[in-house]
Amino acid sequence: MSNQLLSYPKALPLSDWSNMASGLSAQAGEDVEPSPFTVLDCFDQSIRQSGRLLIETEGALVLMEADGRLLRQPAARKGNFVADLADGPVKHHLSDMSPLRCLLDLGQGELVKDQLRLVDDEEKTHLRVDVLRFSKDNKTVSLMALTPVRGYDKAQKQVTKGLLTAGASVATPGQIQSVLFPDLVPYVAKPKLSFAPETTAVAAANQIIAAYLSVARQNEPGTIADFDTEFLHDYRVALRKIRSVLSLFKGVYGDAATAELKQRFSDLMAPTGALRDLDVYLLEQDYYFDMLPENLHEGLRLMFETFATDRKDALTTVTKRLKSVAYNREMAELQVMFETPGEIVQGPQGGLTVGDYAKRLIWKRYRKVCKTAAKIDDQTPDEEVHELRISCKKLRYLIEFFAPQFDGAEIKAILKPLKKLQDNLGLFNDYSVQQESLQALISSGRLKGQTALKAAQSIGALISILHGRQLEERARVVQSFAGFDSQGTRERFRTLFHEKGAQS
């Protein structure tokens, strides 16, 4: 029999353990004083959601796996990303986490570790029980890992039955956070929205925008604290999706209201652009150094020193903005506006039912993607490739907004080739933007004297390589579109989104 992991809302006396297995008595280990612990997880609580628990206690990092295994290593580290941890079993088992997300302190409490053995009259051990008793304020929960000794599976079955009868439950370590820190709601970057059949287009638009305004606001503290770059990234994506709604949901709001809202959200997003661009460059330093021979690395180092200085200034600008009274008043007004029915002037399409409206929008955008992509070849101007990238992004946003309204398996089958096409278009765009930004840095006059010469040599070589990779990516775009434009995908789009009798 394998390990069994159970949770129980209080401590159990030894007599209770002894009564659960016939012919066995419980023996406790040495008394241990409570020690403080800190729960560590990413902002999206990816460790908790994988069923695991990571704590720091007594100078060690302790990772409890979903099956109850305990992994330990020294807590000393040079930063708060998994890559910053010392080599050890905890770091190794956290390798599935996003390298862009840092570990945050999500809460503290007290921990008592007990070790019990259930033994027979001859002092032979039949079952080992590791008990971790977590306490926070007036809440206590015990996590118990039951490990049978080979040949003595009966004891584990009896104790498990007894514990479940007494009110224990099969558990995962990640549930500890739910019990001790009930206010810690996992962050979701893509809220799953559902609409009743009678929901109007304007009500759906309001709901989508309100949801992504909430996502943006949840990322403000982390952006200000500069924990990791994903806070700003998710903040910008949330605002970008809101702007897409305003752009794509034509006729849902009045024309004047739409124009005003587009401008307001554009003004919110604009001050964050420079910081995000610098984040991208700095995150990809190793990639850039790998592209150039070592004799050109000095120029790259000078370039990245400039970017690091620029980032400090850009972060200061964004932080002041997010802390300002004017910004917070604007965000609060927008939240009230989209959470209050009738607050915004409704347009002629606002009263349509959401299902019909969603089909029309998605079908129209899909046809635009196909029309644009069919023209892409080796001679197509970059601007048209960028237009395809934007159309694909808007198509994906629409599908994700309304996904719950349609068959999940069919939506997944549509999104897979679309994401691949988007990945290629994203790289094509990155190579293009990077070339322009690097050229602008050379032309800016900010690099002086010998620094300018060394940096210019490195940047020139980098631009040449990026240009070559951009051309390669253009060819991949054509290949990816061929995969996306398959007969199966065309049939799925037509079945899901094309209304009978409507013009193709």
* 452: three-class secondary structure by DSSP: helix
User: What is the pLDDT averaged over residues 388-401?
Assistant: 94
For the ranges 66-70, 96-100, 231-235, the lowest mean pLDDT is seen at 66-70
What is the model's pLDDT at position 258? Answer: 96
The residue ranking higher by pLDDT, 419 or 178, is 419
Quick: pLDDT tens for 466-483: 999 999 998 899 889 988
Q: In terms of CATH architecture, what is 201-497?
A: Alpha solenoid (1.40)
State yes or no: pLDDT of 1 exceeds 60: no
Quick: pLDDT tens for 28-87: 877 678 999 999 999 999 999 999 999 999 999 999 998 878 899 999 999 999 999 999
User: What is the pLDDT averaged over residues 268-290?
Assistant: 94
Cα dihedral angle (85, 88, 90, 92), rounded to 10 degrees?
90
42, 81, 312 from 100: Cα distances, Å = 10, 8, 19
The residue ranking higher by pLDDT, 190 or 145, is 190
- Rounded Cα distance between 49 and 71, Å, is 18
As given in the structure block, the two tokens for residue 213 are 């305004």
User: What is the pLDDT averaged over residues 454-475?
Assistant: 91
- Rounded Cα distance between 239 and 232, Å, is 11
Q: Which residues of 215-224 are buried (b: 16+ CB within 10 A; e: fewer)?
A: bbbbbbebbb
Q: Which of 37, 12, 15, 34 is nearest to 24 (CA)?
A: 15
What is the model's pLDDT at position 3? Answer: 67
What is the model's pLDDT at position 2? Answer: 55
Domain ranges in the chain?
A: 4-172, 201-497
What value does the mean pLDDT of the chain take? 91
User: What is the pLDDT averaged over residues 190-194?
Assistant: 91
The residue ranking higher by pLDDT, 162 or 269, is 269
Provide CATH code, domain 4-172.
2.40.320
Q: What proportion of the chain, given as a percentage, has pLDDT over 70?
A: 97
What is the model's pLDDT at position 500? Answer: 59
219, 232, 234, 328 from 228: Cα distances, Å = 11, 8, 11, 22
User: What is the pLDDT averaged over residues 276-303?
Assistant: 92
DSSP notation for 368-434:
HHHHHHTT-STT--HHHHHHHHHHHHHHHHHHHHHGGGS-HHHHHHHHHHHHHHHHHHHHHHHHHHH
Q: Averaging pLDDT over each range in 88-97, 145-154, 293-302, which range is the top one?
A: 88-97
State yes or no: pLDDT of 384 exceeds 60: yes
User: What is the pLDDT averaged over residues 260-266?
Assistant: 97
- Rounded Cα distance between 70 and 76, Å, is 18
As given in the structure block, the two tokens for residue 306 are 């400039």
- Please name the residues in contact with 335: beta carbons below 8 A apart, sequence gap of 6 or more: 210, 213, 214, 217
State yes or no: pLDDT of 230 exceeds 90: yes
What is the model's pLDDT at position 22? Answer: 82
User: What is the pLDDT averaged over residues 150-162?
Assistant: 86
Q: Any alpha helices (H) in 226-324, and if so which ranges?
A: 230-248, 255-269, 273-283, 285-291, 297-323
Quick: pLDDT tens for 309-333: 999 999 999 999 999 999 999 999 9
What is the model's pLDDT at position 52? Answer: 93
* 268: three-class secondary structure by DSSP: helix
pTM, two decimals, is 0.89
State yes or no: pLDDT of 503 exceeds 60: no
Greatest Cα-to-Cα distance within the chain, rounded to the nearest angstrom: 86
